[in-house]
Amino acid sequence: MPPLTRPDNPGLISLPPRTAQLAAETDVLVVGGGPAGLGAALGAANAGAGVILTERYGFLGGNATAALVMPLMSFHTQSLRREKKGATTLLPTDHGPGEPVVAGALTTLLERLVREGGALSPSLQTGYVVPFDPEVFKLVALDLLDEAGVRFLFHAFASDIISDHGVREVVFETKSGPIVIRARVVIDCTGDGDMAARAGAPYEIGREDDGLVQPMTLMFRLTEFDHTEFAAYVKQHPDQWRGVHGLWDLIRKAAADGQLQLPREDMLFFATPHEREVSVNSTRVTRVLGTDVWDLSYAEWASRRQMRQIGAFLKRYVPGFERAYVVQSGVNIGVRETRRILGDYQITVEDILQARKFPDVIARSTYPVDIHNPEGSGTLLKRLPPGEAYDIPLRCLLARDVEDVLVAGRCISGTHEAHSSYRVMPVSMATGQAAGVCAALAARLGKPPRAVPVSDVQTELTRQGANLRGTQ
Ligand SMILES: Cc1cc2nc3c(=O)[nH]c(=O)nc-3n(C[C@H](O)[C@H](O)[C@H](O)COP(=O)(O)OP(=O)(O)OC[C@H]3O[C@@H](n4cnc5c(N)ncnc54)[C@H](O)[C@@H]3O)c2cc1C
């Protein structure tokens, strides 16, 4: 049976009024423990604020761990070198060896991950992406928050935000009933902009003409993969694999055999730090929205069936996968795109492709515009000029019409096309760190984030190791 669908004319039920426990008060409250939330909590704590981070799950990492999204995409400028046909690295071969434009909290995380054997350093060999182990990621993220003195609460789903005499109160649904945490400044790192939207900030969703968003993908890890056998196949069929994706002929054959029905034309998978493992990014569910419970239920239902088909296809048709099996799938399907909260500035695709610079830069990115087709197969890729990076201004984190709420990560202010670039995890972490610093300074000054001088945010970010290209 398919899952419940949205009722046509739902009756409305009034709920009884309720009270909640006031659980804690803090300078800065970070809602969401993904890459942006980690950056925000570390940025705010290192700037001297009292910080609480809350998360709906029982672990940190967001998409990196819950949705098994791997690897961390490149944050290095691109060279003129392009991928070689038939390369079998299972990692992109067209990045670097340029300048890393994200540092700060990301560098701290990466150094710790590598030291604990949970990631490979970005290098020519990794295609300047960072393959990592999600279980090590969860532990390292916890350690970093502990060391920074961040308090946290897990299993707490933020459902509402209220304003009370200059402080913000966020309501959480928990097993202990509703609780409230009071904060001078709230940073929305939910990916979906849940808090900013509840607070009244305007937002956009999807493409300008039809509102469609990028598809969802359930990611999964396959183990007992034989890289040598796969490489031999690719050597014999160099037109069938391009760095991280391909197998067009085998997919067509499996489809003709009635073994595979997928809304994408190729397989996309990545190496991980484990030799006999790949991370598969090949399921696709279109015309669904990650802020809609009906769509989410349908997407989980459909993508888990696709995962089963893909696992069977790889095993039966693709050399190197004969003994491979699915060892883990995401706790939830990966959601690429939902609300883009409108801020004091909306970053555009032109800003990205022209590598635009802003005086109020708080983060930088080199990642291309990368749009998985919202309607079906195909992916659109538009790169920055070689050696270039674009700036993200602080104004993209300042939600319009709302004081005391900052946004970070994939819900910051930008257009649909621009979002496809700045949403990647290293950049989400960088905008998170910037929001954390701005929130900490706002709490210290007793002013709204908008009133914090951007030069103070930049100075503190630079002190924390962020790479803002010599703005100081
Ligand atoms: C299929 C897929 C493939 C991708 N591939 C890559 C890739 O290879 N490399 C890369 O760098 N990026 C990739 N991305 C993009 C990247 O994963 C995200 O854009 C990035 O994780 C955004 O970070 P975030 O912290 O803003 O949000 P998230 O990672 O989504 O974290 C949000 C956190 O908030 C929590 N949360 C949400 N709502 C609430 C609430 N109401 N109350 C409490 N907690 C809440 C969530 O549980 C989660 O922990 C991919 C994304 C997808 C979906």
Tens digit of each residue's pLDDT (9 = 90 or more) over 173-226: 999 999 999 999 999 999 999 999 999 999 999 999 999 999 999 999 999 999
| Same-domain check for residues 199 and 232 | no
**210, two tokens:** 């039809």
Name the residue with the closest Cα to ligand 1, atom 6.
69
**Residue 450 pLDDT exceeds 90:** yes
Q: Which of 75, 406, 424 to mutate to test the pocket of ligand 1 (most atoms within 8 A of CB)?
A: 424
| Same-domain check for residues 277 and 232 | yes
Ligand 1 pocket, residues with Cβ under 6 angstroms: 31-37, 54-57, 62-63, 66-67, 69, 71-73, 157-158, 189-192, 194, 217, 219, 281, 334-336, 409-410, 423-425, 428
| Same-domain check for residues 42 and 155 | yes
| Same-domain check for residues 73 and 107 | yes
| Same-domain check for residues 375 and 230 | no
Mean pLDDT calculated for residue range 88-106: 73
Rounded Cα gap, residues 154 and 86, in angstroms: 45
Q: Which of 38, 57, 63 to mutate to test the pocket of ligand 1 (most atoms within 8 A of CB)?
A: 63
Give the CATH number for residue 119.
3.50.50.60
| Same-domain check for residues 73 and 184 | yes
Q: What are the tens digits of pLDDT across the range 283-324?
A: 999 999 999 999 999 999 999 999 999 999 999 999 999 999
Q: At which of 329, 353, 375 does a domain end?
A: 329
What global pTM score does this model have? 0.96
- Do the bridges between strand 245-246 and strand 267-271 make them parallel or antiparallel, or are there none, so unpaired? antiparallel
Rounded Cα gap, residues 437 and 454, in angstroms: 10
| Same-domain check for residues 107 and 42 | yes
121 domain residue, yes or no? yes
290 domain residue, yes or no? yes
Tokens 């924390």 found at? 464
User: How many structural domains compose the chain?
Assistant: 2
Q: Is the separation of the CB atoms in 392 and 189 below 8 Å?
A: no
SS3 82: coil
Per-residue pLDDT, 87? 47
| Same-domain check for residues 299 and 346 | no
5 domain residue, yes or no? no
* Distance (Å) of CA 181 to CA 165, 246, 406: 15, 48, 16
| Same-domain check for residues 281 and 197 | no
Q: ω before 385 within 30° of 0 (cis)?
A: no
- List the domain range (segments joined by +) for residue 454: 21-86+102-210+337-463
94 domain residue, yes or no? no
| Same-domain check for residues 288 and 347 | no
| Same-domain check for residues 180 and 291 | no
325 domain residue, yes or no? yes
**Residue 95 pLDDT exceeds 80:** no
468 domain residue, yes or no? no
SS3 348: coil
Q: 59 CA distance to ligand 1 centroid (A)?
A: 13
| Same-domain check for residues 190 and 49 | yes
